[in-house]
Structure 1
Amino acid sequence: MVTALPPTLRRLPVRQLLPLVPLVLVAAWAAGNWPVMASGFVRLRGADPAWLVAAGILTVACWLPVCLLRQGTVLEPLPAGRLFASQVAAGSANHLLPAGLGAHVVTLRFLRSCGISAPRACAALALYSLAQPIGRYALLIVLMAASPDASALGGLLPAERGVLALFLLVTVGAVGAALLWCVRPLRAFVQDLLSTALTDARALHTRPARALALWCGAVGFPALQAAVMVAVARALQLPVPALDVALAYLAATVVAGIVPTPGGIGSVEAALLLALVGVGSPVTEATAAVLGFRLITVWLPLLPGALVLASLVRRKVI
């Protein structure tokens, strides 16, 4: 026999409580890794505050290319203020689900509230998901060509792990292809989505302003994030050239993407630590730099992001 929920529980504002989930998850992760974090925070006490302030300013600026990239995926002009607020909220929601799904859900609801149909909103998310890694890989290739120490990152993903990652990717691709072949409704949905996405992509690239927003945003976001990493490294006086620090960040985020944890928590820290050590940073300083970078780019923006997310949900903007 199922007992009915009390009226107080039935009235529980679940939608209003969801924005608090990322804060709880990050707090739990921090508590589980407190000894490592404590040692890093001790090292951060001696950091140059001017460089840390610069890193904070660059972190806020990172939302601008994301907004450009989102605008570049749709033909309709989006309201600038609500677009910026939605991306601040998406940064918090990104810690709810892996592979950026939390941010995509927030953006999907925002696009729908702007009058964009569901198929075209999904196509915009698909284009975003395609343009973002292309911009990151392009920037990584340019920095690898410019850095004489690029080979030092070879240990970031050992050969056996590289083979395992390739095997996993092929397996996931094969399973996805089998599902598309066997499940007719899913195949029809994907075909419609791809058709809409290709139509919109062609239309967007006939408009220089949209194409510029799309690709400037795709390159600008990882470039600014790499600049934040460089600023934190300078604050801690890491004995590593700025170019190599930026290269280490980009390579680490590419490798961390193989393990799509919510917000990259855990996978980004591990990959970034290995990358910084690979380009010549001592382990202690590299640990402090990783903690400082994640503190500024992830943990500190969580509270304002959760507040904005709660406000948008309450106003039914998303």
Structure 2
Amino acid sequence: MSSLPLGDRPGSLPARARPTLPAVAPLPAPRSRFFPARLTRLALTLLPLLLIGAWAAADLHTFRDGVNRLATADPWWLLAGLFFTCMGWVAAAAVRQGALPERLPPGLLLASQFAAGAANHVLPAGIGAHAVTLRFLQGRGIPADRAAASLALYSLVKPVAKTLVLLGFLVALPELLHLAQLVPDRGTLLLIATAVTALLATAGVVAATVRPLRRPLARFVRAALTDALVLHTRPGRVLALWGGAAATPLLQASVIASVGFALGLPLSWTQVVLAFLLAGTAAGAVPAPGGIGPVDAALVFTMTTFGAPIDIAAATVIGYRVLTVWVPLLPGALVLSILVQRKIL
């Protein structure tokens, strides 16, 4: 190799004669294409906390009243009520698993139902819980039509199981059938039947006339029927689906009974369960967030009908809401935000 400088080598231009390239400014760093997605995910992470904060500010007097009344209650009965509240999430997870043939991870399923409880207390008619569960199932690789069919089966089994539990209590305890004032009259029953018939007829007309909906609805119905048949050939799924659905109202009523016993409610566990089942049947169709409002009023009415003083019945319902709504609300919202942040939802 030659030791001559580059400009002095044969056939090379002198250093002064070589052209110089103009300086090129460095290109700006490209913006991430995923910036909108990250912003959306951040908004979804913070949205549950913001909604719960707004709702808490609007209903703060209820929380304060319930806390003041619970401060003088028996702590051991309140601890029992908290235990039954936690078991309610386990029952909800069992029903969700029983409504789907695929096996879901138990820990994440339970966490999703804990988070769904927080969303369900903000949005009416179970929309929040269904939305969280739908996102969870799709994140587990379940197709949208089959995930929706699972939600439909869940929504169908729960009221059927609750009605069967109510009928079982009434058959086992015929002495309580004399409470005629708790049974809807003919006009109310006719109104309910008319509303259900009109809803089914409207759904049929829409499915028959709106062509873009025919194929998705057909896929949905096919998936729902196929999965329902498959699930009912597996004893484990049947036990999880129907057993969890039947245990849910009993656990909720056990929370009410525990709070009532802590406050000195002069009713038995059976009477509290019947009061809760009758109140839910009477007012459960009203689309209130988490059933708050109509179910509470009906529950106070049914407990006073069974002989409870109205002040203790009202305090029991407030304490029930504190244990089932306010205590797990912030932890549930945090779990919901974590699941969204980690892309599990």
Same-fold status (TM-score > 0.5): yes
1:102 aligns with 2:128: yes
| Structure 1 counterpart of 2:209 | 182
The CA distance in 1 between the partners of 2:275 and 2:94, in whole Å, is 25
**Preserved CA contact (<8 Å) 1:86 1:110:** yes
1:271 aligns with 2:280: no
Counterpart of 1:302 (choices 329, 337, 341) is 329
The CA distance in 2 between the partners of 1:25 and 1:263, in whole Å, is 16
Shift of 1:14: 1.5
**Structure 1 spans left out of the alignment, 5+ residues:** 1-6
Shift of 1:97: 2.4
Shift of 1:160: 5.0
**Preserved CA contact (<8 Å) 1:22 1:93:** no
String of CA shifts for 1:220-265, please: whole Å, max 9, x gaps: 1111111111111111121122101111111212222220212112
| Structure 1 counterpart of 2:269 | 242
Counterpart of 1:135 (choices 161, 171, 174) is 161
Shift of 1:140: 1.1
Shift of 1:150: 4.3
**Preserved CA contact (<8 Å) 1:43 1:288:** yes
Range 159-168 or range 284-293, more displaced: 159-168
**Preserved CA contact (<8 Å) 2:137 2:147:** yes
Q: What is the SS of the residue equivalent to 1:262?
A: coil
**1:46-195 alignment to 2 at 5 Å?**
46-147=72-173, 148-152=175-179, 154-155=181-182, 157=184, 160-195=187-222
- The amino acid across from 2:268 in the alignment is P
The CA distance in 1 between the partners of 2:185 and 2:310, in whole Å, is 19
Counterpart of 1:254 (choices 281, 291, 306) is 281
Question: CA, structure 1 residues 317+11, in 2 after alignment: closer, same or farther (shift >3 Å)?
Answer: closer
| Structure 2 counterpart of 1:14 | 43
**Preserved CA contact (<8 Å) 1:165 1:258:** no
Shift of 1:162: 4.7
- The amino acid across from 1:173 in the alignment is L
| Structure 1 counterpart of 2:59 | 30
| Aligned pairs, number | 308
CA RMSD after TM alignment: 2.4
**Preserved CA contact (<8 Å) 1:92 1:305:** yes
The CA distance in 2 between the partners of 1:95 and 1:197, in whole Å, is 27
| Structure 1 counterpart of 2:255 | 228
- The amino acid across from 1:287 in the alignment is A
- The amino acid across from 1:280 in the alignment is G
- The amino acid across from 2:135 in the alignment is R
String of CA shifts for 1:252-308, please: whole Å, max 9, x gaps: 122222202121121221121112112111110110010011111112111111000
| Structure 2 counterpart of 1:4 | none
Question: CA, structure 1 residues 310+151, in 2 after alignment: closer, same or farther (shift >3 Å)?
Answer: farther
Identity, % of aligned pairs?
Answer: 45
The CA distance in 2 between the partners of 1:150 and 1:186, in whole Å, is 46
- The amino acid across from 2:218 in the alignment is Q
**Preserved CA contact (<8 Å) 1:89 1:305:** yes
Greater share of residues in helix:
1
| Structure 1 counterpart of 2:237 | 210
Counterpart of 2:228 (choices 201, 206, 230) is 201
Range 238-247 or range 19-28, more displaced: 19-28
- Please say which structure displays the higher CA radius of gyration: 2
String of CA shifts for 1:119-139, please: whole Å, max 9, x gaps: 111111111111111111111
**Preserved CA contact (<8 Å) 2:63 2:326:** no
1:45 aligns with 2:71: yes
Range 187-196 or range 215-224, more displaced: 187-196
Q: What is the SS of the residue equivalent to 1:280?
A: coil
The CA distance in 2 between the partners of 1:91 and 1:143, in whole Å, is 27
Range 121-130 or range 169-178, more displaced: 169-178
**Structure 2 spans left out of the alignment, 5+ residues:** 1-34
The CA distance in 1 between the partners of 2:268 and 2:126, in whole Å, is 31
| Structure 2 counterpart of 1:281 | 308
Counterpart of 1:311 (choices 332, 338, 342) is 338
